[in-house]
Amino acid sequence: MSGHGGGRAPGSGSGPADVVSEAPLTRPPTPRRTFVTGAGGFLGANLCRRLLRDGHSVHGVLRPGADPWRLEGIRRDITIHRLDLRDAGAVRTTVDTVRADWLFHLAAHGAYSWQTDTGAIRATNTGATAALVDLAAADTFEAFVLAGSTAEYGPGEHPAEEQDPIAPRGAYAVSKAAATRYARTMARHRGAHIVTLRLGTAYGFWEDPARLVPTLATFGLNGRLPPLADPWTVRDFVFVDDVCEAFVRAAYTTTLERGSVLNIGSGTPTSLAELVDLAREELAIEESPRWSTMDPRPWDAALCVADCTRSRDRLGWRPRRGLAEGFRALVDWLASDSEHRARYARALGLAPGPRSRRR
């Protein structure tokens, strides 16, 4: 696809600047009962913490057998439901029991390179989502906010706008695009407050250790660099706290057009070379990058950068933390907690590393 709106060339400049959210968030007078699918995942665990800080009650869904390690410290503060979202009957029973005001649907399959079962991708991302959308369309919730992906757009030469035609590649992107289309159609048909947030590359606290940004941070705390892909691989990085802010704003903003689709990202393309330069500077890494020593992933060739003008205009949202500040926050989180540092280092086959290696 080559029809996205205008923007910077990949890798130009010195990386994304720090920007600040434009509008204050006006909260409703009473807390809400919230229901978070994928609560044990990276985004879900962060969103649960944000909702608790805001004074809401939280019910979180974890798949049977999932390790709840990301929920350490808050497990007594939320109600956990072990639930296979592909079991429509069990989902309906749980939803009827919880009677949540807001549902945040973050559960997904296929976002990681090791999740390749197309049947599970289709059943989770499209089938299970459609069943939840049907409940939302029947006025079961005040608000239903769905995690989409900028991967739905497919490759493009410029930052993607929400109204652009889509050309998703691969089972994950296709399944997410189908879920978005179904949610939008049903929301318009039934007048339900259903919002899809197409997310860029989120990063931050509690992310899987094997993902790029925490891998760089963990190796960097040991004075090393990991194997790396092509230096001109481009991503649209957005800090997880800013993603959570967008989810909360989407739930509160009941004046949105029904079935709204909104991009959530930095709006700025960042190359792998820029990110590695940032890590080397921040963590005083003397080792030189070993480019193309990691096998490319199918999505590495695609430029998935989001134009977030509509999110700014409709939600009053902009990312508060640019990539440099967000990376520093992640490094501090790892370096200041020996258990976090050890867990991430162990997952990557490393020693925990010193408390800090900053210049």
**Within the chain, where are the H helices?**
42-53, 88-98, 118-122, 129-137, 170-190, 212-220, 240-252, 272-283, 309-315, 323-335, 338-347
Return the closest-CA partner of residue 37 out of 53, 60, 20, 55: 60
Retrieve residue 92's tokens: 């309906």
Residues above pLDDT 70, as percent of the chain: 88
Higher pLDDT, 15 or 187: 187
Express each pLDDT in 66-77 by its tens digit.
999 999 999 999
Average pLDDT over residues 306-335: 97
Q: Name the band, by pLDDT with cuts 50, 70 and 90, for residue 158.
A: confident
Return the closest-CA partner of residue 272 out of 283, 261, 262, 280: 280
Mean model confidence pLDDT for the chain: 90
Q: Name the band, by pLDDT with cuts 50, 70 and 90, for residue 6.
A: very low
Write the CB contacts of 125 (distance below 8 Å, at least 6 apart in sequence): 108, 109, 110, 172, 175, 176, 178, 179
Q: CB–CB of 258/319 below 8 Å?
A: no
CA 258 distance to own-chain centroid:
22
Q: Is the pLDDT of residue 50 over 50?
A: yes
Q: Is the pLDDT of residue 56 over 90?
A: yes
Q: Are strands 270-271 and 234-235 parallel, antiparallel or unpaired?
A: antiparallel
Express each pLDDT in 327-349 by its tens digit.
999 999 999 999 999 999 999 99
Q: CB–CB of 173/152 below 8 Å?
A: yes
Which numeric CATH code is attached to 33-203+240-267+305-321? 3.40.50.720
Average pLDDT over residues 265-282: 96
pTM: 0.91
How big is the CA angle at 36 (ends 34 and 39), to the nearest 5 degrees? Answer: 135
Average pLDDT over residues 222-242: 95
Q: Is the pLDDT of residue 144 over 90?
A: yes
Return the closest-CA partner of residue 323 out of 279, 264, 259, 258: 279
Q: Is the pLDDT of residue 307 over 80?
A: yes
For the chain, helix (H) and strand (E) counts, in that order, are 11, 11
Parse the chain into domains and list their residue ranges.
33-203+240-267+305-321
Higher pLDDT, 340 or 301: 340
